[in-house]
Amino acid sequence: MKKKWFAFLSFMLALSLLLVGCNSDRASKSGGNGTRLDIFSWWTGAGEEDGLKALIKLFKEKHPEVKVENAAVAGGAGTNAKAVLASRMQGNDPPATFQVHGGAELNDGWVAAGKMKPLNELYKEEGWNDKFPKELIDLVSKDGNIYSVPVNIHRGNVLWYNKRIFKDNGLKAPKTFAEFFKVADQLKAKGITPLALGDKEPWTATQLFEDVLLGTLAPDDYKKLWTKEVSFDDPKVKEAVKTFKKMLGYINKDHSSRNWQDASQLVGKGEAAMNIMGDWAKGYFVNDLKLKVNKDFGWVTTPGTQHSFMVITDTFGLPKGIKNEDDVMKFLSLLGSVEGQDTFNPLKGSIPARIDADPSKYDAYGRLTMKEFKKARITPSLAHGSAAPEGVVTKVNNAVNIFVTQQNEAQFIDALKTAASELK
């Protein structure tokens, strides 16, 4: 009897060892030792999370074996997420993959710090080298290596307006600064807030300022600001500062207690006429406020920027030192596929980064923006990390934030010059 028990126990032990072996084998290929695929971003809440959720759902359908964790940290433009990411990276605890803007944020940040693995092989295997615009691949490359996969292209120079307010007051959406101020005066005279701003998180005011810079300097000189070929005490910059200051005379009083969604909501609900925000605002108008493109709200490019495209591209890469590389590669493959992009972008408000996506999946805004992207001059956004490294962005955000309350032009120019002295 004892012998039988012994044989049975030995058999069970061998079986469980075998199962553990199988499991750990599977685990190392997928979900490394139970490691979750934590996808790190700042897409939470209104207008932000729908695209990501749809993408994760699609990924789970295709890869049910992978344990996915949506590790998003709230706060527009990565206000809080970037700090959390920095401490995880410093503590050698990187997320499996994380949201990072193409341009300086990726290249001068995580790539320069030696924290990312190149993805050239993935691009080759997936045949992506001619599926993304060359300019975009350049934005996610350093020294001949490609370091991330762009999921989208957002446009930063968009002025959104409430259709009913404009119609009731016989107004046309402004395309130049002169038209903007004319319309703004007419609205003000009727007791309507002309321009909504929500700079509780200061990046929104920086974004407004960079659009004014682009509209005043035009794309070539705007780009030269970030290569130090045009200085921040250039007369055109001074003119832009004056224009920005004038615009601040038309904003809602409670701007500093609102975030970007709260400011967009003022326009959506007819409590303000216009706001200047990236096209994630369209995702918010449509998905959350249930408004209709071209019926409830309209859009034009921000004053003076008709032929420019302020590019903001959200990308994901492969950090060094993670346990579940295979899973990340599976996720990146989906993110860069036509199906992945056409699942994410119609909800996010952005256009696909790929050139061969299906325009019929997009609304009137998306379709026109896809066309305009092909013709427009591409300029990098400072507020969203493409134009300059994080240190410069933080300094400019602080300077803008002080300027919005104190409105001292000379002091602002000085602060901008100090920030720019950190540029390479």
In angstroms, give the least distance from the CB of 78 to ligand GAL: 6
CB 315, CB 101: distance < 8 Å: yes
Nearer to ligand GAL, 174 or 389 (CB): 389
Tokens of 290: 């249930």
Residue 298, strand partner residues: 161
Interatomic CA distance for residues 244 and 223, integer angstroms? 19
In angstroms, give the least distance from the CB of 285 to ligand GAL: 14
CB 176, CB 304: distance < 8 Å: yes
Nearer to ligand GAL, 30 or 44 (CB): 44
Nearer to ligand GAL, 117 or 282 (CB): 282
Nearer to ligand GAL, 105 or 243 (CB): 105
In angstroms, give the least distance from the CB of 82 to ligand GAL: 10
CB 141, CB 207: distance < 8 Å: no
The secondary structure element, H or E, covering residue 405 is helix 390-406
Nearer to ligand GAL, 50 or 314 (CB): 314
In angstroms, give the least distance from the CB of 42 to ligand GAL: 6
Q: Which residues contact 323 (CB under 8 A, 6 or more apart)?
A: 32, 33, 35
Nearer to ligand GAL, 154 or 223 (CB): 154
Q: 387: burial class by Cβ within 10 Å (0-12, 13-18, 19+)?
A: buried
In angstroms, give the least distance from the CB of 243 to ligand GAL: 24
Interatomic CA distance for residues 159 and 272, integer angstroms? 13
In angstroms, give the least distance from the CB of 260 to ligand GAL: 6
Nearer to ligand GAL, 156 or 194 (CB): 156
Q: Which residues contact 102 (CB under 8 A, 6 or more apart)?
A: 136, 139, 140, 148, 150, 313, 315, 386
Backbone φ/ψ region at 299: left (φ over 0), alpha (ψ -120 to 50), beta: beta
Residue 224, strand partner residues: none
Nearer to ligand GAL, 102 or 133 (CB): 102
Name the residues that contact ligand GAL, by CB under 6 A: 42-43, 48, 76-78, 154, 278, 280, 312, 314, 384
Nearer to ligand GAL, 166 or 284 (CB): 284
In angstroms, give the least distance from the CB of 258 to ligand GAL: 14
CB 80, CB 73: distance < 8 Å: yes
Tell me if residue 4 falls in helix, strand or coil: helix
In angstroms, give the least distance from the CB of 203 to ligand GAL: 8
Amino acid in position 34: G
Interatomic CA distance for residues 180 and 340, integer angstroms? 38
Interatomic CA distance for residues 239 and 212, integer angstroms? 10
CB 79, CB 136: distance < 8 Å: no
What's the gap between Cα 219 and its chain centre? 20
In angstroms, give the least distance from the CB of 75 to ligand GAL: 8
